[in-house]
Structure 1
Amino acid sequence: MTQPARGSVRFRNVRKCFGTFTAIHDLDLDIETGTLVTLLGPSGCGKTTTLRMLAGLETPTSGSIEIGGRDVTRLPANERDVAMVFQSYALFPHMSVLDNVAYGLEAGGQSKAEARENADAGLTLVGLAGYGGRLPAELSGGQQQRVAVARALVLEPQVLLLDEPLSNLDARLRRRVRTEIRELQQRLGFTAVYVTHDQEEALAVSDRIVVMDSGRIAQQGPPRELYEAPVSEFIADFMGEANVLPCQIVDVSEGRATIEISGFRHSLAARAATPGPAKLAVRANAITLTPDRGTPRTGKPGPENRLPGRVQSSAYLGDHVEYEVELESSTIFVIDTGTADPLPPGADVSIGFRERGIALIVG
């Protein structure tokens, strides 16, 4: 057996119970060194509990946790060689930025001069050279977040843990800071475990996403795989709000499946599906709308083998229009970026699918 790489993480059959409630069910998870893995899921799914067990802030009821091949299951937080960036940043308001970053180094035994020198290098690393003399209150939210990251990185941990690190920032600042965190992680090559409930954030920063549901891993893989090839209705809906439509697989040949919905047919990757009833995940931006001027809804395929529908509501949002469209058996959500003039409620339309953004649910 090869020696596990420094910075790797391994959960083996980890269970966490709070009284009679089981928060984590027999978790098996491997995180390779130098990767950024995001634990993603709705509130109560177990992602924060998993992070806290890795940090040493919670103790597993059973199972084991390894960091860099070392069993840390029962070790206290200060002996695990990890550092955590909290949601609230947890900066000392009365201390300068430089002293905030140096605090952990001094507590670890470095002299004040050495700690301040290393802290100054850490601030330079995150693009805050020259900010050491300021108080946290004199910085923007994004700058405070970078101070928290610098304070963690100067400790040279095997694993950096980030717990909802952008939740206190506005939307525009979140986009910028998440890009900065990702660039820093890739440039320095450290291992990071990132917790968020924001799907877009997870897609933007991750090498791999682990989606959790009710204390279990629902699916894990690269961002594109989870978005384009969900294994369940839960994943399809959670990773980008997909429409889930019942369909019939009428033929499978050479890796392609032909599906049928109310007479409308479409071909797509089979994903090991077999003929019979199935479910189709369709992203809102993978649907095309064509006005059917004066064409009654007959329940039969529209022109050019398209599905008939009727607009229930429309909302103009600048660079796109959002629609709810009633089909024969369901209502779908559509994002249309190709028109500046929204179709009014009551308009008859024909529905088509693009090549990407559609997948059979095979789980």
Structure 2
Amino acid sequence: MTPINPGSVVFENVRKNFGAFTAIPDLSLTIEPGTLVTLLGPSGCGKTTTLRMLAGLEHPSAGRILIGGKDVTMLPANERDVSMVFQSYALFPHMTALDNVAYGLESSGLKRGQARERAEEGLKLVGLGGMGPRLPAELSGGQQQRVAVARALVLEPQVLLLDEPLSNLDARLRRRVRTEIRDLQQRLGFTAVYVTHDQDEALAVSDQIIVMKDGEIAQKGAPSDLYDHPASAFIADFMGEANVVSCDIVGIEDGEAMINIEGLLHRVAGRNIRKGPAQLAIRPNAITLSPMNGGAFGGQVIHTAYLGDHVEYEVKTSKGTLFVVDPFMESAFKPLTDVEIGFKDRGIAIIGS
């Protein structure tokens, strides 16, 4: 049950107004066939509006939307070759899992026997073979979510849309189901557009992440690229916590910058860098702490929290309070301890120079 033709998605200068309010000022993006792309951002950033325009549930105020090269800008939802998995699952409570999956096929004109046969294949595909006779109330949250995914996939859409699909699941189940969704997408090769506000979710499932802010693309790229090379303080903090501090770039060689923080020198990879004042994003687990021994950059521990497999610190420094995650629990520093600060090679990025 492989989608016949995984489609590309193109937004060309799309604008969306709600009365006097402009939710999406000017959006242009391309999603390649067979990829899973996540629209990520805080509440109100425009990601859900973008997905709804792609689904045909909203129409742009200007610009064009193409699916598989076809202009679908003003087509209604039922005339677009897309399927959507909703946040609420939207299963019919009085129908069995099998009937829920078969419903869209029967509505599209497929004979009942053929529809039920394909629905059974869809349930097997998502690991629910044999559970067709169960009602939604007899299924767990994760199983209901998989029924919703199967219902969408059996229609063999060019593009599968997923709107916060894991938000109703607990943390452990979210991890399992997101892995299942990613495995399905890679195995079947369909195009997927996935909306979430959860950074870990986006990092785990995506070929590409598009981070949105105020209806615009703040940065897009592979998960590792956004995490390791954030373009701004907003991206650095949104893609996992980051300490943003000022520094000076005192040297540049072979695409690396020598940065100076209070006399502490450290090499950092950079793009379009130049000497002078700069901003640095430092991941909490990229900071090392050691007993104060005359080092150039020091601080004082003001809070210590033991979290089982690591210790979290707040360290007061001349550059502000740093949040630090340290796996070495055996030698945890107590509050009011003076410490020397160092950096690891990975987890530090220049975000402005």
Q: TM class, shorter-chain normalised?
A: over 0.9
For 1:192, the equivalent position in structure 2 comes to 192
Which range moves more in the overlay, 337-346 or 147-156? 337-346
Measured after TM superposition, the shift of residue 341 of structure 1 is 4.5
Residue 78, structure 1, aligned to residue 68, structure 2: no
Partner of residue 336 from structure 1, selected from 322, 326, 331? 326
For 1:278, the equivalent position in structure 2 comes to 278
Measured after TM superposition, the shift of residue 155 of structure 1 is 0.4
For 1:170, the equivalent position in structure 2 comes to 170
Measured after TM superposition, the shift of residue 291 of structure 1 is 2.1
Q: Is the 8 A contact 1:233 1:361 kept in 2?
A: yes
Residue 217, structure 1, aligned to residue 217, structure 2: yes
Q: Is the 8 A contact 1:319 1:337 kept in 2?
A: yes
Measured after TM superposition, the shift of residue 114 of structure 1 is 0.9
Measured after TM superposition, the shift of residue 6 of structure 1 is 4.6
Aligned equivalents of 2:262 and 2:304: distance in 1? Answer: 24
Aligned equivalents of 2:52 and 2:99: distance in 1? Answer: 26
Residue 320, structure 1, aligned to residue 310, structure 2: yes
Aligned equivalents of 2:27 and 2:143: distance in 1? Answer: 35
Aligned equivalents of 2:334 and 2:133: distance in 1? Answer: 58
Counterpart of 1:148 in structure 2: which amino acid? A
Measured after TM superposition, the shift of residue 345 of structure 1 is 1.1
The normalised TM-score by structure 2 is 0.97
For 1:240, the equivalent position in structure 2 comes to 240
Aligned equivalents of 1:91 and 1:314: distance in 2? Answer: 46
Aligned equivalents of 2:69 and 2:171: distance in 1? Answer: 38
Measured after TM superposition, the shift of residue 342 of structure 1 is 2.8
Aligned equivalents of 2:10 and 2:240: distance in 1? Answer: 29
SS at 2:211 equivalent: strand
Aligned equivalents of 1:56 and 1:169: distance in 2? Answer: 27
Aligned equivalents of 2:184 and 2:239: distance in 1? Answer: 25
Partner of residue 343 from structure 2, selected from 324, 336, 353? 353
Measured after TM superposition, the shift of residue 343 of structure 1 is 1.4
Aligned equivalents of 2:255 and 2:236: distance in 1? Answer: 21
Deviations 1:47-104 (A, max 9, x none): 0000000000000000000000000000000000100000000001111000000000
Measured after TM superposition, the shift of residue 337 of structure 1 is 0.7
For 2:160, the equivalent position in structure 1 comes to 160
RMSD, aligned CA:
1.1
Aligned equivalents of 2:129 and 2:168: distance in 1? Answer: 23
For 2:300, the equivalent position in structure 1 comes to 310
Aligned equivalents of 1:270 and 1:233: distance in 2? Answer: 15
List alignment gaps of at least 5 residues for structure 1: 296-301
SS at 1:109 equivalent: coil
Which range moves more in the overlay, 202-211 or 138-147? 138-147
Counterpart of 1:339 in structure 2: which amino acid? M
Counterpart of 1:155 in structure 2: which amino acid? L
For 2:87, the equivalent position in structure 1 comes to 87
Counterpart of 1:69 in structure 2: which amino acid? G
Q: Is the 8 A contact 1:6 1:69 kept in 2?
A: no
Q: Is the 8 A contact 2:6 2:189 kept in 1?
A: no
List alignment gaps of at least 5 residues for structure 2: none
SS at 2:120 equivalent: helix
Aligned equivalents of 2:352 and 2:162: distance in 1? Answer: 33
Counterpart of 2:340 in structure 1: which amino acid? S
Q: Is the 8 A contact 1:39 1:193 kept in 2?
A: yes
Q: Is the 8 A contact 2:6 2:191 kept in 1?
A: no
Aligned equivalents of 1:173 and 1:198: distance in 2? Answer: 14
Counterpart of 1:44 in structure 2: which amino acid? G
Aligned equivalents of 2:98 and 2:128: distance in 1? Answer: 10
